[in-house]
């Protein structure tokens, strides 16, 4: 998967202003097979008060360092909300779709919508690593820490990961891929095998991947003047009612309510 580091996708409710910042950094060439990017969030809400950041997650596993709360997050199938209060920071490693499987060595569907500790995967205690991370401050030092940590534990490259990423990228970029049958045709394998590989390597099925990337596209394109009927038909919905139902289930608001919440350009 190729990521535009300057344009995050899937943001539902974004915090803006000087009291919050997001930095994303590309991995080195040696780690680019496994890592999509590193990310760091810093906030100071002491004057502004608590705020909530919401997004629709990608089909990726994250290793997240947070004080007294460091965890590995499996794919989050629904909406992710994070309340930010006081002052703090979080540093994360975002793995490419399927690329955490060689580290975990078990089906990623086991940790979908769940978190696990570093000990359960890497066999080392979390606390010393967490202390080391929060003794660092610059983004470059944090990235170097992550690179060193992963490089010492790199598994062999698995060609299935490349295949999963190529197919996932096609889904991301090709608006005509609207059904699992479209992915079956592109993959050259039968539906059951496709579903098995995605559940094992990614943690979610092909249908989820299609629906999530189409929803990213919707969020990218929404304006206050969006023609919902036209957009629903274009993205493969048979009627507007099903589109509205899916949108509200994933985003938490109706399309009309969401469009009204978009700040003026």
How many structural domains compose the chain?
Answer: 2
90 shares its domain with 209: no
18 has a pLDDT exceeding 90: no
Residue 155, both tokens: 């598994």
41 shares its domain with 126: yes
pLDDT in tens, 181-236: 999 999 999 999 999 999 999 999 999 999 999 888 888 887 767 787 788 788 77
From residue 83, how far is each of 39, 49, 78, 87, 92 by CA, in Å? 17, 11, 16, 12, 17
Q: What is the pLDDT of residue 40?
A: 95
22 shares its domain with 147: yes
- Residue 176 lies inside a defined structural domain of this protein: yes
> Which stretch of DSSP H or E encloses residue 54?
strand 51-55
- Residue 112 lies inside a defined structural domain of this protein: yes
Q: What is the CATH number of the domain that holds 195?
A: 1.10.10.60
Q: Hunting for tokens 């290793």 — which residue is that?
A: 63
30 has a pLDDT exceeding 80: yes
Stretch 30-55: mean pLDDT: 92
- Residue 3 lies inside a defined structural domain of this protein: no
61 shares its domain with 136: yes
pLDDT in tens, 156-193: 999 999 999 999 999 999 988 989 999 999 999 999 99
Q: Hunting for tokens 């249908």 — which residue is that?
A: 207
Q: Could you give the CA distance from residue 58 to residue 95 in angstroms, rounded to a whole number? A: 10
Q: 77 versus 238: which is more confidently predicted? A: 77
Residue pair 80/59 in contact (Cβ under 8 Å)? The answer is no
- The model's pTM is 0.92
- Residue 4 lies inside a defined structural domain of this protein: no
135 shares its domain with 195: no
- Residue 187 lies inside a defined structural domain of this protein: yes
Q: What is the pLDDT of residue 17?
A: 67
- Residue 78 lies inside a defined structural domain of this protein: yes
184 shares its domain with 120: no
82 shares its domain with 206: no
180 shares its domain with 145: no
Stretch 87-101: mean pLDDT: 97
State which residues form the domain around 146.
11-151
- Residue 34 lies inside a defined structural domain of this protein: yes
């Amino acid at each position: 998967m190729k990521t535009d580091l300057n344009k995050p996708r899937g943001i539902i409710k974004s915090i803006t202003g000087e009291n919050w910042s997001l930095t994303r950094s590309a991995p080195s060439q040696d780690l680019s097979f496994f890592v999509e990017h590193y990310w760091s969030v810093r906030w100071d809400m002491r004057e502004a008060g608590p705020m909530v950041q919401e997004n629709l997650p990608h089909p990726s596993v994250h290793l997240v360092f947070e004080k007294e709360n460091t965890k590995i997050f499996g794919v989050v199938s629904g909406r992710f909300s994070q309340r930010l209060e006081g002052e703090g920071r979080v540093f994360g490693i975002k793995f490419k779709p399927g690329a955490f499987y060689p580290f975990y060595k078990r089906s990623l569907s086991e940790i979908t919508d769940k978190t696990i500790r570093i000990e359960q995967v890497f066999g080392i205690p979390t606390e010393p690593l967490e202390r080391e991370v929060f003794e660092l401050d610059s983004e470059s030092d944090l990235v170097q820490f992550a690179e060193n940590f992963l490089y010492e534990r790199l598994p062999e490259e698995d060609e299935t990961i490349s295949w999963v990423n190529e197919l996932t990228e096609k889904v991301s970029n090709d608006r005509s891929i609207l059904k699992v049958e479209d992915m079956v045709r592109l993959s050259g394998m039968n539906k059951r095998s496709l579903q098995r590989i995605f559940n094992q390597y990614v943690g979610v099925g092909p249908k989820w991947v299609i629906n999530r990337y189409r929803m990213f596209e919707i969020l990218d394109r929404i304006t206050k003047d969006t023609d919902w009927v036209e957009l629903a038909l274009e993205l493969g919905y048979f009627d507007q009612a099903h589109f509205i139902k899916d949108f509200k289930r994933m985003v938490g608001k109706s399309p009309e309510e969401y469009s009204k919440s978009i700040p003026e350009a």
